[in-house]
Structure 1
């Protein structure tokens, strides 16, 4: 049984829900162990009316004979409950509700990595920082947008003492945001700001202030030029500094920065 649990804990959510439990009784009993459910990736689960309704959700709908919209929040709750409050990794689904986030905050105290999709945080009233006190073990956080980075980093610095990795794509890194990264995340090791709007002086603030950085992804940013010798000099202490594709747009409107959001397929790697 211990061997089965060890193996099943390495499988994806689709296999755990739709394949393994139906093989035999002993395999089903093994999936009842919370240790099988420490890594929960809901990113492939879609609503029935989603344009990207995929095979995983289709199989769920067919297997459990669900009519109408797939109840993604109810499904997420049932799976998280199986983890017995031991889940350490959760990637939520598109358009998740605050109800879902509150449930994760209450039922996942051991969480170390949280990944939130792009189609969330549609307004400043939806604040992830309000829940940081529940995740004292959090080490890494990936967002696609953030409305109040200073407040978020303040809460992380207060409650998440082991925090070392932050990814915010298509972010707007101004003077205040750069200073907040330096002041509130002094031990940050991984920083992913790909596709950000970030002027050179703010990038330099981060490079000079975050001395423990091991990976810094600043590719495809607007506000500084790829290959800038001064930037590379100050980034020499970073084991992996990525800056390809970054540029400062100079056009008829002077030095105004133009911000182009992209979707990254790379994921959060370090």
Structure 2
């Protein structure tokens, strides 16, 4: 009876079901080194459906990087974000459904290309601010994620219009978008025309006018959640509230019509580029 309760002899499927609920660093640095049975359970692809890399510090001299280098007997400074990404993606064996990149240490174009080829089953993708080369290729890469349902971006990419068009063509189940940036009228119409079945939209800390907001409220008729907290360029008046009654969850806390008389959209874009807004 006592032996049947021992963790090391538990069924692999049971262990995998437990380990999949742990953070990525525990699955990589703790679990595999306990015993052989735990190691085999830890590399089960079902443990790697959720790849949330946001809490990890990928700087070369961080405690996480140093411990990883030690545990896996790597040469000093051999630890890289790209190498770690390949490790966890390989363990998922193409089954990963959620991939969240860290905000500080973002993916290169090569990392995104690799992920698009090896993580074709993604349902949720979270991206930090990307370099221009990676932004430009994002619409092309989105074609590989046909099961994508939710996309979160730290900022609106320069290729936004093309990206939305590609999502419309290739991602039939797409229903949720989160980003911030300068939302222009063409962006609002692109969402309405290309993603009419969008259910959740979060544009908090963005810059847009009331007119641009109204286009989305009236055009996205299946929208269930609209979050525009701390936006600038409009205030939610009685007309906006009346037109948005069909939206189950409408959040608009802290919205301001403008910052000051000298504020313009060019200034807003510069604030985003240098990370001074939000």
What TM-score range do you get, normalising by the shorter chain? 0.7 to 0.9
* Aligned length, in residue pairs: 258
Q: Which residue of 2 aligns with 1:114?
A: 125
Q: How large is the RMSD of aligned CA atoms in angstroms?
A: 2.2
**Structure 2 unaligned regions, length at least 5:** 1-11
Q: Tell whether the 8 Å contact from 2:143 to 2:170 is kept in structure 1 after alignment.
A: yes
Q: Which residue of 2 aligns with 1:268?
A: none
1:174 to 166, 169, 184: 184
Q: Which residue of 2 aligns with 1:32?
A: 43
Q: Return closer, same or farther for 1:177/1:124 CA change in 2, 3 Å cut-off.
A: farther
Q: Which residue of 1 aligns with 2:101?
A: 92
Cα distance per residue 1:99-144 (max 9 Å; x no partner) = 11111100011110011123x2345863311101101000001111
2:239 to 230, 247, 250: 230
**Offset of residue 54 of structure 1:** 4.7
Cα distance per residue 1:209-238 (max 9 Å; x no partner) = 11111111101111101x411111111111
Q: Return closer, same or farther for 1:47/1:15 CA change in 2, 3 Å cut-off.
A: closer
Q: Which residue of 1 aligns with 2:252?
A: 243
After superposing on structure 2, the runs of 4+ consecutive aligned residues of structure 1 that deviate more than 6 Å are: 262-265
Residue 207 of structure 2 corresponds to residue 197 of structure 1: yes
Q: Return closer, same or farther for 1:192/1:125 CA change in 2, 3 Å cut-off.
A: closer
Of Structure 1 and Structure 2, the greater helix share is in 2
Give SS of 1:142's match: strand
Cα distance per residue 1:14-59 (max 9 Å; x no partner) = 110011111121111111211111100122344435xxx6543343
Q: Return closer, same or farther for 1:90/1:250 CA change in 2, 3 Å cut-off.
A: closer
State TM-score, norm by structure 2: 0.85
Q: Tell whether the 8 Å contact from 2:16 to 2:44 is kept in structure 1 after alignment.
A: yes
**Structure 1 unaligned regions, length at least 5:** 266-270
**Offset of residue 61 of structure 1:** 3.1
Q: Tell whether the 8 Å contact from 1:214 to 1:240 is kept in structure 2 after alignment.
A: yes
- The 2-side partners of 1:66 and 1:177 are apart by 48
State TM-score, norm by structure 1: 0.88
1:57 to 59, 62, 65: 65
